[in-house]
Amino acid sequence: PEVRAKRRFDELNEKGFMVTMDEVSKNIEVRDHTDTHRAESPLRKADDAIVLDNSDLNQEEQLAIALDLVRKRSVQSPV
């Protein structure tokens, strides 16, 4: 959550919005709670989902991991 808040904080500041890190963190926390607890179509991870924690990864590292996962799955269950 801290990494998401920092990214959002930086994005908002670049756009000229004057917000505090605490405000951004609280907003994300409230939004996540709302999304996961709503009555209709609550946001949740699929049972067979693969979670890629990209908190400390750049785009190239994320892509490399994702492609590796796809390759491994393709070998396990060819089309």
Share of the chain above pLDDT 90, in %: 89
Residues 1 and 36 reside in one and the same domain: yes
**pLDDT above 90 (res 79):** no
CA nearest to 56, candidates 65, 69, 48, 44? 65
Residue 53 has, within 13 A of its CA and on its CB side, a CA count of 5
Residue 38: which domain range? 1-44
Q: Are residues 1 and 32 in the same domain?
A: yes
Identify whether residues 38 and 52 lie together within a single domain. Answer: no
The SS3 call for residue 24 is helix
pLDDT at 73: 87
End-to-end CA gap in the chain: 37
- How is residue 50 written in tokens? 């693969």
For residues 28 and 12, what is the distance between their CA atoms, to the nearest angstrom? 13
User: The tokens of 11 are what?
Assistant: 């994005």
Residue 12 token pair: 């908002």
Q: Are residues 18 and 37 in the same domain?
A: yes
Mean pLDDT of 39-45: 96
Can you give the pLDDT at residue 25? 98
